[in-house]
Amino acid sequence: MPKTDTILSTKSLHYFLQLIDTMNYTQAAQILGITQPALTQQIKKIEHAIGTPLFGQMGKKLYLTEAGKQLQTGAIKLLGTINSVVNDIQEFTQADKGNISIGVLDSVDSEVLRKFLVKFNQKSPDITVNVCYFNRKDLWYNLDNNLIDLALIYVPDNMKKSQVNLQNQYDYMKVCEDRLTILTHDKKAKAGKSYPVSEFIDRQWVAYPDNFYLTQIMREKFGSKMNAKNGMKVPLSFSSTKQLLDTAEETEYDTFINNSYYQLHKNDINLTPIYLKDDTKFSTSVIYRKGKKDVPRIERFLAEFKKFLDE
């Protein structure tokens, strides 16, 4: 019987899950900070220990085998359990040591968080903070399964997740109030004014992908007109806010972003900021499972972050 206890370490399982995230050996190795041959060797060791391939290849694309899918489920549960045990132990340690993992919704501007982390690291150099970016589905999955401690996300979140009850399962701390800001080339538009959706029906847009929160807000406002012949036309979409803005300024396309990002970068943006009438208000918030605040380092982190925001 193979000695799986020496092969299936937390490190090797972490390598395995990172490869699943990218489905690319080169990218996964770069993220992990190791060489591609080292990653390949690690995966082969796991496959040898289990006795079956974890990945298949179709052309140049990798895919998970059935064995790979089963190990993925087990690895996530195992690492989640280990993280939970470590958290339980560290609850009784000092508030200035340990690890904090933060998941950020990929469409949220995290510049304020980044600036805070620089100051927090100076005050608490022995607390290691890891920040990863996720789409909404993966972010909730990681939060639900205790794979991350905190999540920076828009609230309310109109993802179809009726089973999540913020009041019962989660606590949250508001970072900033926000709203959708339209950036237009329309020379008739007056900065800061609000206009009905009908004013934008025939314009073309560069937008976030369809599963992004701000795009979903626009879908709700345009309703059935979103994909209609005379509705909202989106020839190009980008997940990166900077690429979205650069493209909007290089074309005649309008775009939309969250107002907090606009306020931070308005000196570099040459389009006119306007709003939709009766637009949806939301907030950027830090969400965490109830009980997380009992962990000293996380309690300290949240207290320092709130103080930073107040200042």
- What percentage of the chain carries pLDDT values higher than 90? 30
| pLDDT computed for residue 31 by the predictor | 77
Q: What CATH number has the domain bearing residue 232? A: 3.40.190.10
Both 190 and 130 in one domain: the answer is no
Confidence of residue 253 (pLDDT cuts 50, 70, 90): very high
Both 260 and 134 in one domain: the answer is no
Q: Averaged over 36-45, what is the pLDDT?
A: 90
| pLDDT computed for residue 270 by the predictor | 93
- Give domain status of residue 8, yes or no: yes
Both 126 and 259 in one domain: the answer is no
Report how far residue 210's alpha carbon sits from residue 233's, in angstroms, rounded to the nearest whole number. 12
Q: Is there a contact between 286 and 175 (Cβ–Cβ < 8 Å)?
A: yes
Selection from 261, 224, 257 nearest residue 238 by Cα:
257
Supply the range of the domain harboring residue 28. Answer: 4-74
The pair of structure tokens assigned to 65 is 């085998």
| pLDDT computed for residue 75 by the predictor | 86
Beta bridge partners of 171: 288
User: Does the pLDDT value for residue 164 go beyond 60?
Assistant: no
Whole-model pTM: value is: 0.60
Q: Is there a contact between 216 and 158 (Cβ–Cβ < 8 Å)?
A: yes
- Give domain status of residue 85, yes or no: no
User: Does the pLDDT value for residue 226 go beyond 70?
Assistant: no
| pLDDT computed for residue 53 by the predictor | 92
Backbone torsion region of residue 98, taken as left when φ is above 0, otherwise alpha when ψ lies between -120 and 50, otherwise beta = left
Looking at per-residue pLDDT, the higher value among 93 and 271 belongs to 271
Looking at per-residue pLDDT, the higher value among 97 and 302 belongs to 302
> For residue 288, how many C-alpha atoms fall within 13 Å in the half-sphere facing its CB?
19
- Give domain status of residue 80, yes or no: no
**Mean of the per-residue pLDDT values of the chain:** 83
Both 181 and 277 in one domain: the answer is yes
Selection from 204, 209, 213, 212 nearest residue 232 by Cα:
204
User: Does the pLDDT value for residue 21 go beyond 50?
Assistant: yes
Both 221 and 276 in one domain: the answer is yes
From 74, 108, 124, give the residue that closes a domain.
Answer: 74
Both 18 and 31 in one domain: the answer is yes
- Give domain status of residue 208, yes or no: yes
Q: What is the DSSP string of 96-118?
A: TSEEEEEEEETTS--HHHHHHHH
Please tell me the total count of domains within the chain. 3
Confidence of residue 282 (pLDDT cuts 50, 70, 90): confident
Phi, psi of 63 (to 5 degrees): -145, 155
Both 186 and 233 in one domain: the answer is yes
Report how far residue 93's alpha carbon sits from residue 236's, in angstroms, rounded to the nearest whole number. 50
Both 111 and 248 in one domain: the answer is no
For residues 267-298, one letter each, b for 16 or more C-beta atoms within 10 angstroms of the residue's C-beta and e for the rest, the string is eebebbbbbbeebbebbbbbbbbeebeebbbb
The pair of structure tokens assigned to 133 is 């970016």
Selection from 178, 182, 160 nearest residue 232 by Cα:
182
- Give domain status of residue 129, yes or no: yes
Q: Judging by DSSP bridges, how do beta strands 150-155 and 281-289 pair with one another?
A: antiparallel
CA angle 64, 69, 73 (to 5 degrees): 145
The pair of structure tokens assigned to 293 is 């605040």
User: Does the pLDDT value for residue 102 go beyond 70?
Assistant: yes
Both 209 and 221 in one domain: the answer is yes
Looking at per-residue pLDDT, the higher value among 65 and 166 belongs to 65
Both 234 and 263 in one domain: the answer is yes
